[in-house]
Amino acid sequence: MAGSMSGGSSTNTAGDQQKTQTFAFVAMTCLFFFWGFITVLNDILIPFLKDSFDLNYTQAMLVQFCFFGAYFIISPFAGKLIDKVGYQQGIVIGLLTTALGCFLFYPSADLNVYELFLFAFFVLASGITILQVAANPYVAALGPDKTAASRLNLAQAANSLGTTVGPLVGAALILGVVTADASAVQGPYIILGVLLVLVAIMFRYIKLPRITSVESDVANDDENIWDRRSLVLGALAIFLYVGGEVSIGSFLVNYFAESSIAGLSHAEAGEMVAYYWGAAMIGRLVGAVAMNYVAPTKYLSLNALIAILMIVVSMNSSGSIAMWSILAVGFFNSIMFPTIFTLAVKGLGSLTSKGSGLVCQAIVGGALIPLIQGMAADSMGIQLSFIVPMLCYIYIGWYALRGVPNSQ
């Protein structure tokens, strides 16, 4: 009788743990949605601000430079913050900082100063950086190691839902205005800021499981994350992946407005950006299933190869072929970030938070690669400038095949 009761108690405990982890996973996917929605609005704001302030491509790409530059500057501090206050409170701080960035769009538009917009982007991205450093390893740890890549891909699918909805909302509320007036961004970003504050309050009081394998270990001061080859090469892969993906997304509106490509208005082209990120959402759902059967490294290399081919097709064609081939890159981008992330931090143990911080710091690629493509577009034209992200995918293919030790 006692043995039976003990067994039942054990079963109930396991069941309760599973329910708690499931609830935590659902809560975390909401975060992925929010920061995807906010991040992709940059693709809408770049052509909007370019027209509002009469900028060239290089100047317009300073939006991404300031936004993703925050990842490089803030990530090390975010890692230390998470170690000190824990993952849940780190998420709350990240949400409130992101909300502050949203609120700063109001005075920036009132004063109509481009530099203030850039500062608002930096603050907003600082909050998202803290969320990234906390949420990615947390989701990866919410279950068995062997399904971490699949689980993170599923969470990233929610992120892709946000990046799919974002361009549609942004095109309607911002690019759809009659005149290019900076005040058009005030209402949407105030609403976003209020929503983020409400979500922060929710995360302050909900109960999330403590991931002991990540949070309770104390890192050995003698260990150096730079000695972990897979981590360092993975961080470089993240640098180039984020740079390539963001760079393509940043140029789509202007690319589709070209008469030789689609000749669309900015509002129409903004809606087409949703296909790029929507393809990524579908790809992540497919990848979440496929990588239960196919080695992540093989799946990553295949996606990188096809992304390269799609860019080559777009660069050497016109009309609908050029448009749809570059949009198709979104599908093959889909699994890259979560797959590279899990490969890079796998087996770090007590160094996980530091490793996560380094990988998230590498997201600064989103600041530099678009700037490089912007300079290329100003000098050789927007279509040929896509050679810049193409080179990024070449390295990612190499990393998948040769950069991961003991890859299977």
**What tens digit of pLDDT does each residue of 289-315 get?**
888 888 889 999 999 999 999 999 999
> How do residues 335-385 score in pLDDT, each as one tens digit?
898 889 888 888 777 777 778 778 878 889 999 999 999 999 999 999 999
- pLDDT-based confidence at residue 173 (cuts at 50, 70, 90): confident
- Per-residue model confidence (pLDDT) at position 24: 78
- In 53-147, where does DSSP find H-type helix? 57-60, 62-85, 87-103, 105-111, 114-140
Architecture of domain 12-403: Up-down Bundle (1.20)
Domain ranges of the chain: 12-403
Instruction: Please tell me the pTM assigned to this model.
Output: 0.80
Taking the C-alpha atoms of residue 387 and residue 247, their distance in angstroms, rounded to an integer, is 11
> How do residues 185-226 score in pLDDT, each as one tens digit?
888 899 999 999 999 998 888 877 776 544 444 445 556 778
- Per-residue model confidence (pLDDT) at position 179: 58
Examine the pLDDT at 251 and tell me if it is beyond 80. Answer: yes
Residue 340 near residue 212, CB atoms below 8 Å = no
Residue 233 near residue 399, CB atoms below 8 Å = yes
b or e along 174-189 (b: 16 or more beta carbons within 10 Å of the residue's beta carbon)? Answer: bbeeeebebebbbebb
> How do residues 256-291 score in pLDDT, each as one tens digit?
999 999 999 988 998 999 999 889 888 888 887 888
Q: What is the 3-state secondary structure (H, E, C) of 276-295?
A: HHHHHHHHHHHHHHHCCCCC
Q: 220 — phi, psi (to 5°)?
A: -80, 120
Closest by CA position to 387, among listed 400, 372, 397: 372
> What percent of the chain clears pLDDT 90, i.e. is strictly above it?
47
Examine the pLDDT at 7 and tell me if it is beyond 80. Answer: no
- Highest averaged pLDDT of the listed ranges 2-6, 164-168, 304-308: 304-308
Q: 223 — phi, psi (to 5°)?
A: -80, 140
Give the position of tokens 């193409």. 390
Across all residues in the chain, what is the average pLDDT?
A: 85
Q: What SS3 class is residue 244?
A: helix
DSSP string computed for 154-223: HHHHHHHHHHHHHHHHHIIIIITSSS--GGGGHHHHHHHHHHHHHHHHHHHHS-----HHHHT----TT-
> How do residues 10-48 score in pLDDT, each as one tens digit?
555 666 667 777 777 888 888 889 888 999 899 989 988
Tokens (6 digits) for 182: 């900076």
Residue 328 carries which side chain, given as an amino acid letter? A
Q: Phi/psi zone of residue 319: left (φ > 0), alpha (ψ -120 to 50 degrees), beta?
A: left
